[in-house]
Amino acid sequence: MSADTNNRSAPSGAALPEAYWQSAFTESWGVLSRHTIGRIGMILLGLFALMALASFIPPLIDPIYNPMSGVDPIISYTSGPSWRHWLGTDFIGRDIFSQLLAGARIAFMVGISAAFMSIFLGTAIGMLAGYSGRWGDTLLMRLADMIMVMPTLLVLLVMAALFGQLNIWTIVLLIALFRWPGVARVIRSQTLTLKHRPFIESARIAGASHLRILVRHILPNVLPLALLYMSFRVTSAIIIEAALAFLGFGDPGTVSWGMMLQWVWKTGHMFQAPYWLLPPGICISLLTLAFYMLGRAMEEVLDPRMRREDPEE
């Protein structure tokens, strides 16, 4: 797929002038912002980021808008949208709109931190495996294979059943721990091709240590690929967290979209309160879609061969 990511940067390796990075960034940004799918993705992401930021506001207006513990003093049942509650209330009179905002915050938190952790792990392990070669490579990659075949959601469900309810950060950590092998494989193959490039050879001859070669010369060349994978990992982390919460194994102390869906389902309002069922469902789909679109666009930025408007192709 995008094995040629380094086309642009390969000739000069790591020690590049500031101006190169700047121009590379402007060029990439140009491609990204001209890309329709990428643009839609970014607009959607921006909206959700706004929602996540806005989630701090409602509880400040009135404690009844606290997504977890605030209830309307008058409404003690589920009610449709009104001026007081823009999306209505849930079955005990909590405001659905403020729950939705808080859910955006949790989704971002879970998605980005889990993706970041798994990318960090995957990149480190992938580079190490690719660079060390021989049995170090074999060992790490077999480990990756073993973890890759484990069904993440199932393992998480079993863990939740064994240890009682999981804290949201434990969930994030577990998702990260189960989702790095895919990244590690791609980064490893990229490292393998880089390893034999002349600029690495010359760095080695010049006396650079292994650590220096890895960090200064290989890392900058695999990073774009890692970032691309990050946007896909965000998607899967959000979906796993939502599924977990929907099945009743989410962190009970947080209001996530999956949790909202679980409440609407378990209290028997599934087919009666569309104003309660639809918003979290739509939000999960749109946010994951946004990250996916951004990933697709980034893929084209990083791999010039995929750019359709390119006259040479």
Footprint on this chain of another protein (rule: CB under 8 A): 68-69, 71, 76-78, 91-93, 160-165, 247-249, 252-253, 259, 262-263, 265-272
Q: How far is the CB of 239 from another protein (least distance, A)?
A: 18
In three-state secondary structure terms, 79 is: strand
290 vs 293: CA distance, rounded Å: 5
Cβ-based nearer residue to another protein, 253 or 311:
253
Nearest approach, Cβ of residue 141 and another protein (Å): 35
Least distance CB 163 / another protein (angstroms): 8
Query: Minimum CB separation from another protein for residue 248, in Å?
Result: 3
Burial of 257 (0-12, 13-18, 19+ CB in 10 A): buried
Query: Nearest distance from residue 6's CB to another protein, in Å?
Result: 48
Beta carbon nearer to another protein, 5 or 262: 262
Q: Which residues of 211-221 are buried (b: 16+ CB within 10 A; e: fewer)?
A: eebbeebbbbb
Q: How far is the CB of 58 from another protein (least distance, A)?
A: 17
Q: State which residue, 78 or 191, has the beta carbon closest to another protein.
A: 78
Residue type for 296, please? R
Across 113-132, b (16+ Cβ under 10 Å) vs e yields bbbbbbbebbbbbbbbbbbb
CB atoms within 10 A of CB 167: 14
Nearer to another protein, 9 or 267 (CB): 267
Cβ closest to another protein, residue 172 vs residue 255: 255
Residues 233, 114: contact at Cβ < 8 Å? yes
Give which of 194, 56, 192, 182 is closest to 121, Cα–Cα. Answer: 182
CA-closest candidate to residue 241, choices 108, 73, 77: 108
Nearer to another protein, 108 or 263 (CB): 263
247 CB contacts (<8 Å, ≥6 apart)?
Answer: 157, 262
User: Which of the 8 DSSP states describes residue 213?
Assistant: I
Can you give the three-state secondary structure of 215-229, one letter per residue? HHHHHHHHHHHHHHH
178 vs 246, which CB is nearer to another protein? 246
Residues pairing with 89 in the sheet: 79, 95
Question: Min. distance of Cβ 50 from another protein in angstroms?
Answer: 28
CB closer to another protein out of 91 and 199: 91
For residue 65, what are its two tokens?
């808008």
Q: How far is the CB of 69 from another protein (least distance, A)?
A: 5
Nearer to another protein, 86 or 265 (CB): 265
Tokens at residue 136, please?
């170090």
Least gap, CB of 159 to another protein (angstroms): 10
